[in-house]
Structure formats: C-alpha cells, structure tokens
Chains A and B, each alone.
Chain A
C-alpha cells in the first residue's frame, strides 16, 4: 500500500472509530435506551425494574384518570396486573387520552421504589377506531 493510500485509510479509520465510539457511548441504560415491557413483565423484572428506563404498554383502566391542577395520575392494566402511573412529563398529553377511551397506552419513564411509575411521555394508541365498529347497517 503506498503512502497516499495509507493516509486515506487512516483518515477514514479515524472517522469510523469516532462514529462507533459515539454510537456505543450513546447507549446508556438509564437515559437513552428504553426497554419495552408489558405491565406484567415489569412485575417480573423485580428489582432490576428500578434501574432501567422502561416503555410500558397496557390498557388504560377506564375511569382511573385523576387530574389535579397540572398533575395527572392513572392506571394501566394487563390481565390482572395493574400499574399506577404518575405523569411528570412536560409535553401535552395526546388527544386520544381520556377517561372513556378504549385506548392502548405506552408510557416511558421509570418505576419508583414505592411501585408508582413516573412517566415522562405518554403515547395513546386508539387502533380499533378506524377499523371496525360501523354504525348499524341499512338492509
């Protein structure tokens, strides 16, 4: 390999290594990475659950939403498992999120020692609305 080519190879390697370092260093368990779990899986995680950022999906428990000034609390369920959520995020909550919605909810945040989940983000999916459930047919 001649010296000119070598310079290119070294220059390119420096860039490649720098990007790989950025990619690895960016993966942090407590901030940039979040583990997707369902409500019951969170309970199976045990003590490990407190050290991770979690993305928990479950169904909104109807009527569980309590608003108090800017605070928002609610419960998500999966089968017999329940998880109490406290919203600490800053962004407005999604439009589809309210007490009479049949919504699947995804919350991102951390599980506190007292078992309450502090959510920084809420996503609500209202999947069924556009797929079925038409007004009664005219036959």
Chain B
C-alpha cells in the first residue's frame, strides 16, 4: 500500500506539469482543445492525490509501522478516531493535506468554469497548477509521507518495522485540534483562487470587475475559514496548553493572522472598486498579498526561521519555500507594474467624511496592522541582520500597537456603514450618532462608578456599545420601513430585508460578531489568578470564590496514566461546581500532558490547571485563573461563521405582489 501511495503521489508531479503547460499553451494559442486538456489534467491531479491520501489513511488506520510517518504519529493503543486525523498531525502528512486541498480547489474551479470565462481560465489553471507543481515537489521529493523506516545494519541501510509507534503528541489529542488544521488550511489555500483570477486578469488585460465578481464567494469563503480557523487555534491553545490564555502573539499565530488582515482589507476595498471604479491596483495588490502571506505563513511554520512553541521542527523546506515565495512576488509585482496604466481610477475621492474615505481609513489601518505584525514577528531575523543580536519583541509590544489599531477599526465598523457615499452632512451625522454616543458616555460613567479604571477597557466597552447600537438600529429601521409597506410582522420584515441584501446584512452580522469578540478580548484586562499547593482537605481563595481540595485520585488505562484533583468551588458558601484538573502521562509518546478543567459561563471562566506534585507526593500544585468574558470570543466566532454563510446566500428577488 505504501508503494501504491508513493506511486500515486509521484504521478501528481507530471500531471501538474502537464496541466500547467497545456493551460499556458491554451492561453497563448487560444485553442479550446488545449484548455479542455488542462481541465482534465486538473481532474486527474485531484484523483491521484485523493487516492494517495486514502492510501496514507489506510496505512494509518492499519498501523503499518514500517512507515516513518505512521510510526512517528500513531501507536496501536491510539483510538481509531485519532489514527484517522493523524493525517495532519505531523509535518509530512499535513503537507499532503495541503496539497490535496490545492488539487480539490483546482478541480472545483475547473469544473465551475467549464462553460464560461474561457478567456481567463487558461491562466487561472496555469496559476493554480503552478501551485500544484510546487507542493507536489515538496510532498514527493522532500517531505514524503510514505517514507519507510530505515536502520543501519552493518554497512547497509535496511528497512524495518517498529514494534509500536510513538503515538500522537498528547497536545494534539483534542477535538479543536482535529478541525483546526483543515479549517485553517482551507482558508490558506482558498486564497489561491482569487489570486489565480487576479493574475489571469493581469495577463489577459481583462481588468474589469469580472474577476472580482467571479471570485467574490471564494474570497469570502477563504476569509471565513481563516477567521474560524484562527479562533479554533486559540480555543485549542486555551484548553490544551494550560497557561490560561488563547493568544500570545506567537510567530505561528501571527502567521495565520497576516493573510486574514489583508483579506479583510480586500473585502472592504473591493466595494469601492465595484461602486466607484477606484483602488484597482490596490485591490490587485491585496489579493496578491493575501496569497503570498498565506504561503509565507506556511514557510514560517515549517522553516524554523523564527522559533516558536508550535512550529514544526526545521523541516528542510525553508529554501524551497523562499524560492517559491520570491518567484511569486517578482512575477506578480512585475505583472502589476506592467498593467498599472490600465488600472487608473474612474473617479476621484470627494470628501473626508464619506463612505469611501471610511473604507480608505479602514484599509490604511489594516495595512498598518499587517506591517506591524509582520515587523514584530520577523524582528528576531531583522535585528540579527542589522545588530547581530537576535531580539524578540514580546506580547506587550504587540498589544501596545494592536489594541489602538483594533479599537480604531472597531469604531470604523460602527461609523463607516452609516456614512453616505460621496459626502455626509453634519445633520446626518448628528441624527445617526447622537443617541449611540450618548449611550456610550452613560455606559462609561456607570462603569467608572462600578470601579473600572482601565482606560483601554473603558474605551473598548464604549466603542462596542456604540457599534452594537448602530447595527441594531440598522436592522430595526430597515424592518420598520418594510413593515409600513407590507403585511409582514417585525421579524418577517427583518428576515426579508436581510435576504434581499445578504451581503450588506451578513456584513452587519459579522460586524456584530467582531463586537462580541472584542468584549471577549477586553476581558483580558480583568484576568486574575492564584497558585496554591494543596493536599486533601486544604482550601484557598480567588476573588469571591473559595476552593476546597477534596481528593487526589490516580488512574490508568492503556493509553495513559493520570492524576486528578477533585476541587469544590464555592461562592458565598454555595457549591457552584466541582472541577477536576488532571495530569496525564502518555505511555507511547513518553510525555506528560496537562488536562485543564474549565467552569465556563457567559460572565467568566474559572480555569484550573494541575501543574505539578510536591516532592513528597502528598500534595499537588494547582493554578486557578479567573478570566472574564472568554466565552464571548468563541460565541463571536460562531456568529462570524453564520454571518459569512449568510453573506454568501444569493439575494432574494421578490415577486410583484410582495412588499415594495
């Protein structure tokens, strides 16, 4: 099976080259037959890669420990479910997953456009097949998941089968970790599609809004998957890494944020192009940047260039990625410069207080955020280059710069949509913003009275309140207008209103989701924690809570042994919950693992970690965090997902008998 998988995977390389070359030839000669051949090539690439993935799955599920990847990431006792998802637990397998998604997307695009966009498609397929070539080179020649185990035997290398595998890294044995990589990868790889169309538009000179309309759903899907993938990563870090937080500005985290920032900028600025024919070069640049940053993120994770807790060990892929990135960058920038004259704006900007300028400042802030994150992430490399010292900038640096930018963007979320195109009068401003501003001021006064003193937190709550108000007003006002002219009740009216312009109201829903998430982020300003060494019967306090250590139990199954602390949690002498932080020791991987226990409500999380044993073994060290509003981050991400799906629904057209 390993040989079969290897052969299948190897076929991907010539098939990708064939697809790219025929697509290019189709573009140059404009012959339909060649385009059709390239399309078949895309289907074939998808087919062989799918079969290769199935072959690897077969090896994983049947625990074939003659294969290095299988032996490194699974073991006999591992539950079947984890054997299946071990496909993306390690470097080589996850690279195959990535390659697979590229071929899936290429095949989908080829199929979707089998009868249309015949002028663009040759170059679209060429760009996508170039990606397939690159990833097939990596998967086949550098990081092959079908590699067998070797051992030195005298002077010769000999294949052998390990008695048992090393098992799956305990940190990865968590549900969020199972969906986080595929979701994030779909987000990353999805950026290839708008990129390929942008490149095709640049090459063919068909620079109208065609390529933008065609890729709108792709861009939105990519964006949504990236967002949800990033938050799932945070969720995993939160429940699995046991340090009480979900975001640490780690290079790998930043790598996933970068393309999200540029693609968010794009989703906004593209509206200006559609409406006013401005920012054409800029939009091209954002699509290209998003794609390159997605590749850059993969490079960062797998090259070991910046040290990170999450990163794969140095995989030897660094140089290959650097070359591919460099080629992509030079190729796209050259094309962009070549076409810059044809990308002149149709209109000029008119007023500082207008929708367009709102978008413009939105884009400026997203761009600065991208540069800041990139700068901070790469600072160890930059500083070593110039001073010889490798200097890391920590989370406080990122917070110092990203909190103001984030709040400014959040504010624009409320202000922007209410500004009119071209110009907004002072009267309109007063009417739209008077009440929300007053409401926010009152909120700040109330919070101050309640003892909140953190300036950023006050600002964040005030802005969140303001933005939420303006969003709710948009829905209510729209629904009321509809209701006057129809027999619909309020909720029907609100539904119909949204369905008639899904992009706008889906957008509002996403904005509301961001507000909810920002409330969650702001909770960080009020975190508190305590650490205690307890034996059975001991107790300690954190804020209004009292914790009683009831029992320390030890247990064992075939996968791991464990120690669990039973901790009663009281508030005002009332038992709230019993939490059970646990420490496990996995036999196969020979690794300990901390299983935190979290008591979670809308208001706050109580997060308990069993961090160690005392020397004599009768007591345990337990760490308890009190984190307000964390659940808002997860709820916000969920709303964001719903909003993204909603924005992709086609607009409902009403029959003549319906509301006007």
Residues of chain A touching chain B, judged by Cβ–Cβ distance below 8 Å, are 4-5, 7-8, 11-12, 15-16, 18-19, 22-23, 25-27, 31-36, 55, 67-70, 90-93, 95-96, 98, 106, 123, 126-127, 129-131, 134-139
Judge if B394 is at the interface, Cβ distance under 8 Å: yes
Could you list 5 examples of A-B contacts with CB < 8 Å? A11-B361, A36-B307, A70-B531, A129-B590, A138-B163
Judge if B598 is at the interface, Cβ distance under 8 Å: no
Judge if B331 is at the interface, Cβ distance under 8 Å: no
Q: Smallest Cβ distance from A7 to chain B, in angstroms? A: 5
Interface pair B380/A139, CB less than 8 Å apart: no
Q: Which residues of B contact A34 (CB under 8 A)?
A: 391-392, 394
Q: Smallest Cβ distance from A137 to chain B, in angstroms? A: 4
Q: Smallest Cβ distance from B309 to chain A, in angstroms? A: 6
Using A25-B400, A33-B397 as known contacts, say yes or no to A90 and B531 having CB atoms under 8 A apart: yes
Q: Which residues of B contact A123 (CB under 8 A)?
A: 309
Interface pair A22/B401, CB less than 8 Å apart: yes
| Assembly CA distance A103 to B368 (angstroms) | 39
| Assembly CA distance A53 to B361 (angstroms) | 36
Interface pair A129/B166, CB less than 8 Å apart: yes
Interface pair A96/B391, CB less than 8 Å apart: no
Interface pair B243/A33, CB less than 8 Å apart: no
Q: Smallest Cβ distance from A25 to chain B, in angstroms? A: 7
Judge if B501 is at the interface, Cβ distance under 8 Å: no
Using A5-B349, A67-B612, A91-B244 as known contacts, say yes or no to A98 and B592 having CB atoms under 8 A apart: yes
Instruction: Give the contact stretch, choosing among B27-35, B266-274, B350-358, B510-518.
Output: B350-358
Interface pair B368/A15, CB less than 8 Å apart: yes
Using A15-B368, A129-B589, A135-B163 as known contacts, say yes or no to A33 and B390 having CB atoms under 8 A apart: no
| Assembly CA distance A55 to B307 (angstroms) | 12
Q: Which residues of B contact A4 (CB under 8 A)?
A: 348-352
| Assembly CA distance A127 to B349 (angstroms) | 55
Q: Which residues of A contact B401 (CB under 8 A)?
A: 19, 22-23, 26
| Assembly CA distance A92 to B530 (angstroms) | 11
Using A31-B396, A36-B390 as known contacts, say yes or no to A92 and B593 having CB atoms under 8 A apart: no
Judge if B138 is at the interface, Cβ distance under 8 Å: no
Interface pair B160/A138, CB less than 8 Å apart: yes
Interface pair B357/A8, CB less than 8 Å apart: yes
| Assembly CA distance A136 to B164 (angstroms) | 10
Q: Which residues of B contact A11 (CB under 8 A)?
A: 352, 357, 361
Interface pair B389/A19, CB less than 8 Å apart: no
Interface residues of B in 68-86 (CB under 8 A from A): 71-73
Using A69-B533, A134-B71 as known contacts, say yes or no to A27 and B612 having CB atoms under 8 A apart: no
Interface pair B389/A35, CB less than 8 Å apart: yes
| Assembly CA distance A16 to B162 (angstroms) | 58
Interface pair A136/B163, CB less than 8 Å apart: yes
Q: Which residues of B contact A32 (CB under 8 A)?
A: 393-394, 396-397, 400
Q: A23-B401, A67-B612 are in contact. List 19 more A-B contacts (CB 8 A).
A: A4-B349, A18-B404, A23-B372, A26-B393, A26-B396, A36-B391, A70-B531, A70-B533, A92-B594, A92-B609, A95-B170, A95-B593, A96-B592, A106-B307, A130-B169, A130-B589, A131-B313, A134-B71, A138-B160
| Assembly CA distance A36 to B590 (angstroms) | 29
Interface pair B160/A70, CB less than 8 Å apart: no
Query: Per-position contact with A for B516-528: 1 when CB-CB < 8 Å, else 0?
Result: 0000000000000
Using A11-B361, A135-B162 as known contacts, say yes or no to A92 and B394 having CB atoms under 8 A apart: no
Interface pair B364/A92, CB less than 8 Å apart: no
Judge if B301 is at the interface, Cβ distance under 8 Å: no
The A interface is mostly helix, strand or loop, or mixed, namely mixed
Q: Which residues of B contact A129 (CB under 8 A)?
A: 166, 589-591
Q: Smallest Cβ distance from B582 to chain A, in angstroms? A: 12
Q: Smallest Cβ distance from B409 to chain A, in angstroms? A: 11
Closest to B375 in A: A23
Q: Which residues of A contact B365 (CB under 8 A)?
A: 15
Q: Which residues of B contact A96 (CB under 8 A)?
A: 591-592
Interface pair B380/A36, CB less than 8 Å apart: yes
Judge if B615 is at the interface, Cβ distance under 8 Å: yes
Judge if B305 is at the interface, Cβ distance under 8 Å: no
Judge if B611 is at the interface, Cβ distance under 8 Å: yes
Interface pair B621/A33, CB less than 8 Å apart: no
Judge if B623 is at the interface, Cβ distance under 8 Å: yes
Interface pair B352/A137, CB less than 8 Å apart: no
Q: Smallest Cβ distance from A111 to chain B, in angstroms? A: 15
Q: Which residues of A contact B90 (CB under 8 A)?
A: 130
Interface pair A67/B391, CB less than 8 Å apart: no
Using A36-B380, A91-B243 as known contacts, say yes or no to A15 and B615 having CB atoms under 8 A apart: no
Query: Per-position contact with A for B369-405: 1 when CB-CB < 8 Å, else 0?
Result: 0001001000010000000011111101100110011
Judge if B489 is at the interface, Cβ distance under 8 Å: no
Query: Per-position contact with A for B596-627: 1 when CB-CB < 8 Å, else 0?
Result: 00000000000001011011000001010000
Interface pair A134/B242, CB less than 8 Å apart: no
| Assembly CA distance A11 to B400 (angstroms) | 21
| Assembly CA distance A67 to B243 (angstroms) | 20
Interface pair B361/A15, CB less than 8 Å apart: yes
Q: Which residues of A contact B161 (CB under 8 A)?
A: 137-138
Q: Smallest Cβ distance from B155 to chain A, in angstroms? A: 16
| Assembly CA distance A129 to B90 (angstroms) | 13
| Assembly CA distance A70 to B590 (angstroms) | 25
Interface pair B400/A35, CB less than 8 Å apart: no
Interface pair A67/B615, CB less than 8 Å apart: yes
Using A16-B368, A95-B593, A138-B163 as known contacts, say yes or no to A33 and B380 having CB atoms under 8 A apart: no
Q: Smallest Cβ distance from A73 to chain B, in angstroms? A: 12
Interface pair A127/B313, CB less than 8 Å apart: yes
| Assembly CA distance A104 to B533 (angstroms) | 27
Closest to A100 in B: B590
Judge if B648 is at the interface, Cβ distance under 8 Å: no
Judge if B485 is at the interface, Cβ distance under 8 Å: no
Interface pair B392/A36, CB less than 8 Å apart: yes
Judge if B476 is at the interface, Cβ distance under 8 Å: no
Closest to A57 in B: B307
Closest to A136 in B: B163
Judge if B320 is at the interface, Cβ distance under 8 Å: no
Judge if B149 is at the interface, Cβ distance under 8 Å: yes
Q: Smallest Cβ distance from B279 to chain A, in angstroms? A: 13
Q: Which residues of A contact B389 (CB under 8 A)?
A: 35-36
Q: Smallest Cβ distance from B354 to chain A, in angstroms? A: 10
| Assembly CA distance A27 to B382 (angstroms) | 14
Q: Smallest Cβ distance from B32 to chain A, in angstroms? A: 47
Q: Smallest Cβ distance from A68 to chain B, in angstroms? A: 8
Closest to B403 in A: A22
Interface pair A35/B244, CB less than 8 Å apart: no
Using A15-B365, A16-B368, A95-B591 as known contacts, say yes or no to A131 and B611 having CB atoms under 8 A apart: no
Judge if B47 is at the interface, Cβ distance under 8 Å: no
